[in-house]
Amino acid sequence: MGQAKTYGLGFLKKAFFLYAFVCYTSLLFAQKYPQDYFRYPLDSLPNLVSPFGGLRDNHFHSGIDLRTNGREGLPVYAAADGYISRIKIQKSGYGKALYIEHPNGYSTVYGHLQQYHGAIAEWIHRYQYINKTFEFDKIFMKPFLKVKKGDTIGWSGNSGGSTGPHLHYEIRDTKTEKIMNPALFGLIPYDTLDPIINKIHVYKFVAEGELLKKQLTVNKRNFTLIDSIWLYKDTLELDPEIYGFGLEAYDFIHNAKDEKGIYEISLLLNQQTKFTHTLNQFAFDESKYINAHIDFPYYKIEKLRIQKCFIDDGNAFSTYKTDADKGRLNLALKKNNTGNIVFAVKDFNGNAFYIQLCYKIGESNLDQARVDYEKSIAGKRMLIPGKAKVVEANGLLITMDPKSIYDTVFYELETLFGDKNSFSREYVFHTPNVPIHATFDIAIEPTFVPAGLEKKLVLAYSNGKSDRFRSAGGSFENGVVKGKGANFGNYCIMLDTVAPTVKWMRYKNEDNPYDTLRWDFEIKDNFTGISSYAAYLNDHWILVDYDLKNQQLTYKFDEMYYLVRQSIVLNQMDSSLPVYADLKILLEDAKGNKQEKHFNLLLK
Ligand SMILES: [Zn+2]
């Protein structure tokens, strides 16, 4: 323990230095990034539902989510003077989104809006009618719709892929489009809660791949708090090998139950910084590196995220700083050596949590885990990050992109008889517990092509466990169905000949279904998904919102409703008769299966 304490005090100076460094960097940020330029885009104090770079399924959160108290319809304000540089409306993703370019080189982004405001809303409505489309992505190269700091630009909502009302907000570097941590610009919620490390995972490397060797749970039984550093009471006995570490670590902002992501993680070996990960900024297309940043197989199985303090060869995420060892600690040549390893996790306000472990290098000994690992990869074929590779089986051709994988993969490839719904053999390409970064090309030869239905063939994917086959896209050309694979798992060919369906949702007001200023329709597709949709009122195109997550089309009564109504009234002999119009909905799925449905609806 005495020895550990010596390290602890030695480290305290380091900790103090780190603290000074944090203050110094905050000062640098203040100089580099304007602190009072952007106002908070809502009426409340800064309150985050989800932080910058939060750990999500398949991506780092590319912005921050601001709390709207579980409600929609709060006014959203322009964060600073500028002009509308882009309007993007999608059935999923950010839903109704708005981009403002500011003269200081940054842009702000507002996502999942319920509605737009004023001149912006009017412009959008006109644009949608002229182009006969709900969804669009319009980039304005010159100032057209100008805004002043604090102008209402819209109302907060839950549109697109959002799973609850909130405002998604981003600050981007306009030129590089890199997404910046809004905390750099002073958008920092009040926060005095320290982050914590729950568990430390020790990885032992073999020539290719790594072995999870040991987990240390951080608790009062095996750690002592001395001078704000948690010291491991034991000494970690290690073989002379190369090691990596991973942390289960969490941060808290508003209360001790409200778990957020960690802003910064560092690893020091004998007072030398070996690895730092800092979430200040990253490019939009980097966000998928989450799958290499965390221990992906562990996440798939345990549903817990270990953040690794070492970098896979195929992981190019730009938030890391390391030496050439990429966070791997070479302890192979230091028999009987002792030393210490320090982990530091921090939030933006300087709240921090430190852990120190002392280790001792023992004898090299035969390791059962290693023997088992070597047995498990024996005879398997290998994929190497950074290299394209062709993978073949009877009736299957896969071309891996150099960026498809993060680390060496010893893969398995199995051919099965397809199930009763498939038109090919079924191929089991390794396991979905291993992540894929860039998609790979995949071509499967059908065992049977139903005459005249070639265009309806599509690739199907399943994770081989719980889920059924779902569409993986692709199309029939030159005797094979070709497409892209985004995951390891099971692939085959299936057929989609079933058109989408549509239903008027009367239940909104069962007593009087017409007592509303909107009509809602449920639209569904069984396999490849709805690729186009349109609605007409007495043959006039009308604007319908499509919300993919709720499988819902909505017509909010606009000028077209009243124009159609008026023209019917003018043509009817008896003006007291009820006014009915034909509402036609056209749907098409990705395989060209079409639906046309008519509803005879009362216009109030
Ligand atoms: Zn968000």
* pLDDT single digits (tens) 283-330: 999 999 999 999 999 999 999 999 999 999 999 999 999 999 999 999
Distance 79 CA to ligand 1 centre (A): 17
Mean per-residue pLDDT over the chain, rounded? 91
**Burial grade of 453 (CB within 10 A; 0-12, 13-18, 19 or more):** middle
pLDDT at 8 over 90: no
Q: State the pTM of this model.
A: 0.91
Domains of the chain plus CATH, in order, are 48-185 (2.70.70.10), 191-370 (no CATH), 379-495 (2.60.220.30), 501-603 (2.60.40)
Structure token digits, residue 509: 């007001």
Give the lowest-confidence range in 23-27, 233-237, 371-375, 452-456.
23-27
Q: Kind and range of the H or E element at 432?
A: none
Q: How far is the C-alpha of 564 from the C-alpha of 489, rounded, in Å? A: 52
CA of 579 to the centre of ligand 1 (A): 44
Measure 125 CA to ligand 1 centroid, in angstroms: 25
pLDDT confidence of residue 29: 66
What torsion do the CA atoms of 58, 62, 67, 73 make, to the nearest 10 degrees? -100
Instruction: Say which amino acid occupies 181.
Output: N
CA–centroid distance, residue 53 to ligand 1 (Å): 10
Please tell me the predicted confidence (pLDDT) of residue 508.
Answer: 62
* pLDDT for the residue numbered 188: 85
d(CA 102, CA 214): 50
Q: What is the distance between the alpha carbons of residues 311 and 288, in angstroms, rounded to a whole number? A: 14
Q: Is residue 12's pLDDT more than 50?
A: no
- Expressed in angstroms and rounded, the spacing between residue 51 Cα and the centre of ligand 1 is 8
CB 177 within 8 A of CB 284: yes
In the numeric block, which tokens belong to residue 477? 């050309």
For residue 309, how far is its CA from the centre of ligand 1 (angstroms)?
26
Residue 62 Cα to ligand 1 midpoint, Å, equals 7
Q: Check if the beta carbon of residue 196 is closer than 8 Å to that of residue 45.
A: no
What pLDDT, on a 0 to 100 scale, did the predictor assign at position 3? Answer: 40
**How do beta strands 75-77 and 381-383 pair?**
unpaired
Cα(50) to centroid(ligand 1), Å: 7
* 3-state SS record for 560-591: HHHHHHHHHHHHCCCCCCCEEEEEEEEEEECC
Residue 340 CA, ligand 1 centroid: distance in Å: 39
Whole-angstrom Cα distance, residue 203 to residue 311? 12
- Residue 30 Cα to ligand 1 midpoint, Å, equals 25
CA of 162 to the centre of ligand 1 (A): 8
Report every protein residue that has its C-beta within 5 angstroms of ion ligand 1. Answer: 65, 168
6: pLDDT strictly greater than 50 = no
CB 587 within 8 A of CB 530: yes
Q: Compute the distance from residue 457 Cα to the ligand 1 centre, in Å.
A: 36
Spatial separation of the C-alpha atoms in residues 155 and 143, rounded to whole Å:
22
Ligand 1 centroid distance, CA of 365 (Å): 49
For residues 595 and 524, the answer to whether their CB atoms sit within 8 Å is no
Phi, psi of 344 (to 5 degrees): -130, 125
Give pLDDT tens digits for 434-474.
Answer: 999 999 999 999 999 999 999 999 999 999 876 789 999 99
Contact status, residue 356 vs residue 11, Cβ threshold 8 Å = yes
- The tokens describing 204, both together, are 């032992």
Comparing 166-180, 183-197, 383-397, which segment has the lowest mean pLDDT? 183-197
Q: Residues 323-340: what's their mean pLDDT? A: 87
Question: How many whole angstroms from 287 Cα to the centroid of ligand 1?
Answer: 13
Q: Report CA(538)–ligand 1 centroid distance (Å).
A: 39
**What digits encode the pLDDT tens for the residues 56-115?**
999 999 999 999 999 999 999 999 999 999 999 999 999 999 999 999 999 999 999 999
